[in-house]
Chains A and B, each alone.
Chain A
C-alpha cells in the first residue's frame, strides 16, 4: 500500500512539477465535469435543432396551405401530426450520443486514474458501451450502409476510447493516458464541430425563410385591406384570385385574424434564431496569448479554442485560457449556441492535451478552467433555448 502511494505521488509530482496531489485531482475532476457538460450541451443542441426543424416544417406547410389559391387546396394541413425531422433523425442523434458517451466515460476514467486507479465499475460500463457500439456498427442498417459519416478514423477513435476505459487498470499515469487519446478526441470533436456549424447555418436559413413568409403574408394582408374597400367585384377579379374574393367577402376581419398567426410565427422565429449563427462576424473564442509558451513536445505555439487537427501534434496550453476560464466571457458576445459548443469542444481537446503535456500546473488549471467555463456557458445557452 505504501509503495502504491509513493508511486502515485511520484507520478503526480512528475505531472505537476511542484503542485500538490489535491490540486491535480481537483483539476482533473473538473476536466471530467467539463467533459460531461460538453456532452450534455451537444445532445441538447442537436435536439433543439431537431425541434427547430419541426417548427420550420410546420410553418412551411401552413404557408403552402395559406398561399394555395386553388378552389380546393391541394396542400393538406395536418396540425396534429407528429413531426418526422428531416435534418437530424433520431438515429443520427443516437450515433452522436454514442460518440459522446465514449468521451464522457473516458473523462470518468481519467479522473479515476488521477485518484489512484482505474474504476472497475467504469470499466464494466465501458465494456457494455463498447459492446453496444460494436453491435450498432454491425447492425444491418450500418453494416450494409454505403453511406455513413462515421469515417474510419472516427470509428477507430470511439473504439480506442472505449478500449482505454476498459483497460485503464494498466494505466497509472494520466499523462500517458491522456496523450494516448488526444488524436482520438480531436477526431470526434472535428466531426461534431463541422456538423454543428452546418446545422446552425441551416437554422439561420430556416429562421430567415420563416421571416420572409411573414413579410409576404403581411404584403398580401395590406393588399387585401385595399380590396376590402373595393365596391365593384369586377375590379377584384382583375386583381386577384379566389382567395382574394374570400378576403373581399370577409373584409378586414381576416386581417386581424392573421395577427395571431404573426404572433405565433414570431415566437417560432425567436426559438430558431437562438440556435442559428449570428449575422455578424464569428466571435473571437479567446484573446491572443501574450505569452504563449511553445509546446514542449512540438515546439508549436499554443492556440486556445482551436482543436488540434486529427493526427496532428497536441497543443499544450496557453496563458489565455486562464482569462477565458474566468467565467465564460464568450456568453457576453454574440456567439451562437453552435459556436459556444464548438468552443467548448475545442477546449475539451486543449484541456486533454494540457493533461498529456503540461509542464506546469498553471497551464493545466488554465486549460481545464477554460473548458469548464465554456461548457457551462454552452449549457446555460441551451437551457435558455428550452425556455
Chain B
C-alpha cells in the first residue's frame, strides 16, 4: 500500500501537470517558427509521458510496475529540468510562460518527493 503522503504527492503532481500540457500545446499555435514549434512539441510529449507515468504510478497494482514508474519518473524529471531551461527563451514570448514555468517547477518538486 502506498502511504497516504505518496498518493497525495502523485495527485498533487498530476494537478500541476494536467493544466501545463494544454498551455504548452496552445503555445505551439502562438509561434510560426518551425524550430520553436518542434521544441515545444517535444516538451509537450515529455509532459504527456510524465502525466502517463504519474497516472500509472497511481493506478498500478503491481509493486514492480510502481518501482519502474518511479525510476522512469526520476529520469523524466531530469530531462524535464533540462528541457525547461532550453525552452525558456521560446516560452518567454508566450503569454502563459509564467504559468507554465510555475507548473513545471511544482511538478519537479512533487516528483522529487515521491
Chain A residues close to B by CB (< 8 Å): 53, 56, 60, 63-64, 67, 86-89, 91-92, 95, 141-142, 144-152, 195, 198-199, 201-202, 204-206, 208-209, 211-213, 215-216, 219-220, 222-223
B37 to A208, Cβ gap below 8 A? no
Q: A195-B59, A208-B21 are in contact. List 13 more A-B contacts (CB 8 A).
A: A86-B52, A86-B56, A91-B65, A146-B66, A147-B63, A147-B66, A148-B1, A204-B22, A208-B44, A209-B41, A212-B40, A216-B34, A216-B41
Instruction: Chain A residues near B6: list those with CB within 8 A.
Output: 147
Q: How many residues of B contact A (CB 8 A)?
A: 38
CA distance in complex: A150, B7 (Å): 12
CA distance A149 to B69 in the complex (A): 14
A205 x B22 contact (CB < 8 A): yes
Give Cα distance in the complex from A202 to B21, angstroms. Answer: 10
Which of B2, B14, B21, B62 lies in contact with A89, CB distance below 8 A?
A: B62
B1 interface neighbour in A60, A91, A146, A208, Cβ under 8 Å: A146
Residues of A within 8 A of B80 (CB): none
Whole-angstrom CA separation of A195 from B14 in the bound complex: 12
On whether the beta carbons of A60 and B45 are closer than 8 Å, the reply is yes
CB distance from B42 to the nearest CB of A (A): 7
B51 within 8 A of A: yes
State in angstroms the CA–CA spacing of A148 and B59 once bound together. Answer: 7
Closest to B33 in A: A219
Q: B53 at the A/B interface (Cβ < 8 Å)?
A: yes
Q: State whether A92 touches B59 (Cβ < 8 A).
A: yes
CA distance A95 to B60 in the complex (A): 10
Q: CB < 8 Å: which of A198, A208, A222 contacts B58?
A: A198
Beta-carbon contact of B61 and A209 below 8 Å: no
